[in-house]
Structure 1
Amino acid sequence: MAKKMSMMINADHSEVCRAVILEDGKVQDYIVENVSHEKVKGNIYLGVINRIEPAIEAAFVDFGGKKYGFLPFKDVLRETYVNTGEKKARVRIQDVLVHGQKILVQVAKESRDSKGPSLTNSVSLPGRFLVLMSGSQASAVSRKIEDEEERKKLKTLVADFKLPENLGLIIRTAGVGRTKTELQKDLQRLLVVWESLKSSVKDESKEPPFLIYQEADMVVRLVRDHFTTDTSEVVVDNVDSYNALKSFMKLIMPRMVNRIKLYQDTRPIFARHNVESQIESLYQRTVPLPSGGSIVFDTGEAMVSIDVNSGKTTSASQLEETALNTNLEAADEIGRQLRMRDLGGLVVIDFIDMFHKKNQTLVEKQIKKVCKADKARINISRISKFGLLEMSRQRLAPPVQEGAFIKCASCDGNGMVRSLNYTVMDVLRKISEHLAKGKVKTLRAEVSHEVTEYLLNNKSRFLLDLQEKHQFKLEFVGSIGKVWTDFKYQVTEKTAEEVAAQETKSIDSVAETKKTADAEETPKRPSRGRDSRGRRRPTQRKRYSRRSPNGRRPGPKSAPAEAASGSESPTATPSSQSSIVADTVSQIEQPKSETEKSFNKNEAVGNITPISRPVAEPPVKVVPPAPLPVEVAPKPSNSDKGFAKRVSEEPPPSGTDS
């Protein structure tokens, strides 16, 4: 059963024109043209050689575009060479081309990224059934036509066609089944265009570079290059495009004019035929498969890598069968996706590992079968021992994603951004680089809001120390929505006088710091009447006994009598007890012998309050006496009256003086 082929053109918006080729309702090819991106492929210009590069055997030609075109030496025809008068075995580009030379060029590839468009000196004019080419006298048949009988028949039809010198032709796939008259009419139209090109080149009134021939718009090219007798209809939703198509069809295929139809429904044409959902898959990285597997596309600078993932398997015995079925489904979808996405260059496919050689051969045949419908030139290799299949595809136009996407401002197209912590460290390193010059007066950093918040919350002490050390002012300006990795610096440098003053201040600061450090290392000699810490030493006091000479405990009533008798032993009055305790506390830092240290620790047990000694006397070893069998009064309080009352109530001692 023959498959139903149709075309749909969405041209209701002047900015973008889209078209799809459907096979039984499924999108097989997708063409989109953005008006904002000027298309130059196929255009013919009269240019001027601007620069010759012998190292790469190429010339750069000014053809009137934004960038110079790249013209390889192998694409320059011999009739373009200048007459040098010398014959050499090996022709060099610098010998046959000169700077400022006029040259006829055609754009073979669109410009991409930083590269300019690729040019060729061999001009080709495409028609509906034939392609007229300069620099060749032969007539050939398209390689897409593989039937040998059909190839011989076509060559016989064009064998007696008369062509001008240095012109040849190629029969396109659309020429299969056409009569000699139809081919002859197509050739006559191309020869008329060629004569106009020659007359434009000879016109001296125009100064090159300038445009000679412009390729047809996308709607006409779609019908010219893709319309076949199997196409049931061409539906377009724009009146102007509809009229242009009808005029073109009347010129090349009058019998097929009735297949051009105008879409007038209020519902969008692509939504009406369930095309929009299929187009959306072109912009996705992962494409699902009917069996549950998936295909992952990764476009890099060097190649396009495609990974085939399998679905869930129920048992190990089905592993080989599942791998084969998934790979066959992937082969069909990969061929379709390559056409729709228009991915070119080197393509590497990582199929699921298959252990049987016959299964690998089936997958190779399947992908070759699918790629036959592609108009681009494709070379396919065999599956390697690593399960990889390499293939190359001619890039007919820029990839679909290039016109629909722009480079991410955050990740710069890498798909990842630096972490906040790493970005903060990078900011601090940049600040240190500016400070290393020693002339920074004010540094203003414009960073994102997140970086500013992190610095103020986690690096505030470090930043303050940095400003104090280098004597400069640091300012952070946070911007909400700013990319983490995007930061700028505005530096105000110090004058020569300010730098000299800072250096002098730094030298003085270092000297003062050294002087302070030396002073701290030299021990100070204690002053007279003060200890090593500068505290006042307690005054010299005589030793006293807690018992009076008469063997009685001193009290408030006996104190005057003893004083009148002229006894040298001091009485233990409450005031004297308080002063003794104060003197004891004040001499904690005095050097003590081991016996004194032990005595102080057992002060409560010995019931003896240590007494300070004069500095002039040699250290005296104090031995604590044995505990007395009487109850000792508690430590005197701040109230003298209470202390005297407690002492007077105690019974008289029965022992002798100690």
Structure 2
Amino acid sequence: MKQLFVHCVRNVTQSALLENGRLTEFSVERSEGTSLVGNLYIGRVVNVLPGMQAAFVDIGLPKNAFLYVDDVLHPHLDRQPKTKPSIADLLKPGDQRVVQIMKEPLGGKGARVTTHYSLPGRCLVYMPHADYVGVSKKIEQEQERARLKQLADELREPGEGLILRTNAEGEPRESLAEDLAALRRVWRDIAKRGDREEAPAALHRDFGLVQRTVRDVFTPEIEELVVDNPKAYEEARAYLRQTAPTLEGRVRLHADGAPIFERFGIKQQIDKAFQPRVSLESGGYLVWDQTEALTVIDVNTGKYTGSVDLEETVFRTNLEAATEIARLLRLRDVGGIVIVDFIDMDTDEHRQQVVQRLEATIRRDRTKCQVVGWTRLGLLEITRKKTRADVMSYFYDTCASCKGKGKIYVR
């Protein structure tokens, strides 16, 4: 059973996805600092750095955006030159370009932008210049994949690119055509504004958290969407009325008085999931240490002593830890490099089964995540795409006294 909850309080909106009562996905957004990923701007090239194969672009934010050469070339790899040109041959200071944010400003870095534009709808992603068709890997039936690819090829115009999202599975041609037509209208408006606006200027902003959650997360597999704010409730129903009328009846307004996250046990799960030490049901535990670009996770048996032998105890703890780590990476929205120090196992078969368990659970993650493999020191390396500040940054500020070291100095 899957349930989706949206909690709105003052200037903060939070969404939570429960699977069989267990929290698996959580997002938070402040109204004064809404997400920038997906927004499009007309920007002006400020600096071109051939040594870095990149340019800095003024899009009106406090820090200039970073545009890498690969994000200037054609989106389709087959249409790119075999020898990569210098960024100086493609851009000059003063040039104006429409760019889209693909990674928010993080730390002291500006946003990363691209000219590979993409506009997500409920059933598909529209890429005006990509010239290819893709189908979500989560749609596994080959017959359905072939049907959707054929429909996309029939619907798209020369040069356009489409990605069929998971929500496209089983949808008729008419639904896909309507979604595509709406996205084309949005792109035409962006292109017109880009021609007449003077850089830097915003051309298009993606949905806020409520509508993004309904668009990207609320699939037919989810039994209900519970919202505790009347305005957000109407927004959700209005969006579904246009894009997925069969799901509109699953939206429910929470109005029984008790705070929604406490009523459904979500707050307690959030409090436990974001601790540096996370307990496993068996008695083992995980220790998390997170920096801007690297997360280290240590697995321990704790109170779990098993019942057969040491190798079996270690193996069972690592299997349970693999499932929990995949859930928490998604829940905390961790990005960058992740290193897991599993408890040492004696057999290759056990190590392989732990990786298989991790990969099977990671497949549910909407963010690109890859298990790279074991290092020579026996650590497991994972990478997860980072586009926004992780969720913990909304709840915790760096201590002014210890500067984030978290230790008390004793003379």
Tell me if 1:71 matches 2:64.
no
Match of 1:56 among 52, 56, 69: 52
Give the SS at the match of 1:221. Answer: helix
Cα offsets for 1:25-68 (capped at 9, x unmatched): 11110111122434211100011111111110111010011111
Per the alignment, do residues 64 and 362 of structure 1 end up closer, same or farther by CA in structure 2, a change over 3 Å counting?
same
Matched to 1:133, the amino acid is: M
Give the SS at the match of 2:271. Answer: helix
Match of 2:347 among 337, 349, 356: 356
Q: Which residue of 2 aligns with 1:379?
A: 370
> Percent identity of the aligned residues?
36
Matched to 1:348, the amino acid is: I
Per the alignment, do residues 60 and 230 of structure 1 end up closer, same or farther by CA in structure 2, a change over 3 Å counting?
same
Match of 1:158 among 119, 141, 152: 152
If the length of structure 2 is used for normalisation, what is the TM-score? 0.94
Match of 2:225 among 227, 234, 251: 234
Match of 1:247 among 226, 238, 262: 238
Give the SS at the match of 1:231. Answer: coil
Per the alignment, do residues 109 and 281 of structure 1 end up closer, same or farther by CA in structure 2, a change over 3 Å counting?
same
If the length of structure 1 is used for normalisation, what is the TM-score? 0.60
1:418 deviation in Å?
A: 4.5
Matched to 1:103, the amino acid is: R
Contact 2:138–2:166 under 8 Å retained in 1:
yes
In 2, Cα distance between equivalents of 1:185 and 1:62: 35
Match of 1:292 among 274, 278, 283: 283
Contact 2:42–2:99 under 8 Å retained in 1:
yes
Matched to 2:95, the amino acid is: Q
Per the alignment, do residues 384 and 54 of structure 1 end up closer, same or farther by CA in structure 2, a change over 3 Å counting?
closer
Give the SS at the match of 2:155. Answer: coil
- 1:184-263 equivalences under 5 Å are 184-203=177-196, 206-263=197-254
Q: Which residue of 1 aligns with 2:175?
A: 182
Cα offsets for 1:185-223 (capped at 9, x unmatched): 1111111111111111122xx322111111001000001
Give the SS at the match of 1:292. Answer: coil
- 1:460-499 equivalences under 5 Å are none
In the comparison of the two structures, how many residue pairs are matched?
A: 406
Matched to 2:336, the amino acid is: G
In 1, Cα distance between equivalents of 2:156 and 2:306: 68
Q: Which residue of 2 aligns with 1:5?
A: 2
Q: Which residue of 2 aligns with 1:169?
A: 162
Give the SS at the match of 1:311. Answer: coil
Contact 1:128–1:252 under 8 Å retained in 2:
yes
Structure 1 vs Structure 2 CA RMSD: 2.0
Match of 1:30 among 26, 30, 33: 26
Q: Which residue of 2 aligns with 1:132?
A: 126
Per the alignment, do residues 249 and 114 of structure 1 end up closer, same or farther by CA in structure 2, a change over 3 Å counting?
same
Unmatched segments (≥5 aa) in structure 1: 80-86, 421-658
Contact 1:342–1:396 under 8 Å retained in 2:
no
Matched to 2:371, the amino acid is: I
Per the alignment, do residues 410 and 181 of structure 1 end up closer, same or farther by CA in structure 2, a change over 3 Å counting?
same
In 1, Cα distance between equivalents of 2:195 and 2:11: 36
Contact 1:140–1:170 under 8 Å retained in 2:
yes
Cα offsets for 1:468-520 (capped at 9, x unmatched): xxxxxxxxxxxxxxxxxxxxxxxxxxxxxxxxxxxxxxxxxxxxxxxxxxxxx
Identify the range of structure 1 (271-280 vs 380-389) with the bigger mean alpha-carbon deviation. 380-389
1:342 deviation in Å?
A: 0.5
Cα offsets for 1:528-550 (capped at 9, x unmatched): xxxxxxxxxxxxxxxxxxxxxxx
Per the alignment, do residues 125 and 314 of structure 1 end up closer, same or farther by CA in structure 2, a change over 3 Å counting?
closer
Give the SS at the match of 2:57. Answer: strand
**Structure with the bigger percentage of strand:** 2
Unmatched segments (≥5 aa) in structure 2: 76-80
Contact 2:34–2:208 under 8 Å retained in 1:
no
Contact 2:335–2:383 under 8 Å retained in 1:
yes
Matched to 2:13, the amino acid is: C
1:313 deviation in Å?
A: 5.7
Tell me if 1:274 matches 2:259.
no
Contact 1:376–1:396 under 8 Å retained in 2:
no
Match of 2:102 among 93, 108, 115: 108
Matched to 1:287, the amino acid is: V
1:184 deviation in Å?
A: 1.0
Per the alignment, do residues 273 and 89 of structure 1 end up closer, same or farther by CA in structure 2, a change over 3 Å counting?
closer
Contact 1:127–1:186 under 8 Å retained in 2:
yes
In 2, Cα distance between equivalents of 1:103 and 1:368: 39
Contact 1:104–1:121 under 8 Å retained in 2:
yes
Give the SS at the match of 1:166. Answer: coil
1:142 deviation in Å?
A: 2.0
Matched to 1:131, the amino acid is: V
In 2, Cα distance between equivalents of 1:290 and 1:140: 40
- 1:222-621 equivalences under 5 Å are 222-312=213-303, 314=305, 318-384=309-375, 386-416=377-407, 418-420=409-411
1:159 deviation in Å?
A: 2.2
In 1, Cα distance between equivalents of 2:36 and 2:360: 32
Cα offsets for 1:116-168 (capped at 9, x unmatched): 111011110000011011332111112333433332221122221142x5321
Contact 1:17–1:33 under 8 Å retained in 2:
yes
Give the SS at the match of 1:159. Answer: helix
Give the SS at the match of 2:318. Answer: helix
Tell me if 1:14 matches 2:32.
no
Identify the range of structure 1 (380-389 vs 367-376) with the bigger mean alpha-carbon deviation. 380-389
Contact 1:313–1:319 under 8 Å retained in 2:
no
In 2, Cα distance between equivalents of 1:173 and 1:312: 41
Cα offsets for 1:352-399 (capped at 9, x unmatched): 111122211211110001000001111113345643111111124211
Contact 1:410–1:417 under 8 Å retained in 2:
no
Per the alignment, do residues 396 and 70 of structure 1 end up closer, same or farther by CA in structure 2, a change over 3 Å counting?
closer
Contact 1:109–1:397 under 8 Å retained in 2:
yes
In 1, Cα distance between equivalents of 2:156 and 2:115: 23
1:179 deviation in Å?
A: 1.3
Matched to 1:169, the amino acid is: L
Per the alignment, do residues 404 and 313 of structure 1 end up closer, same or farther by CA in structure 2, a change over 3 Å counting?
closer
Give the SS at the match of 1:46. Answer: strand
In 1, Cα distance between equivalents of 2:314 and 2:344: 7
1:400 deviation in Å?
A: 1.1
In 2, Cα distance between equivalents of 1:202 and 1:284: 49
Per the alignment, do residues 313 and 378 of structure 1 end up closer, same or farther by CA in structure 2, a change over 3 Å counting?
closer
1:347 deviation in Å?
A: 0.6
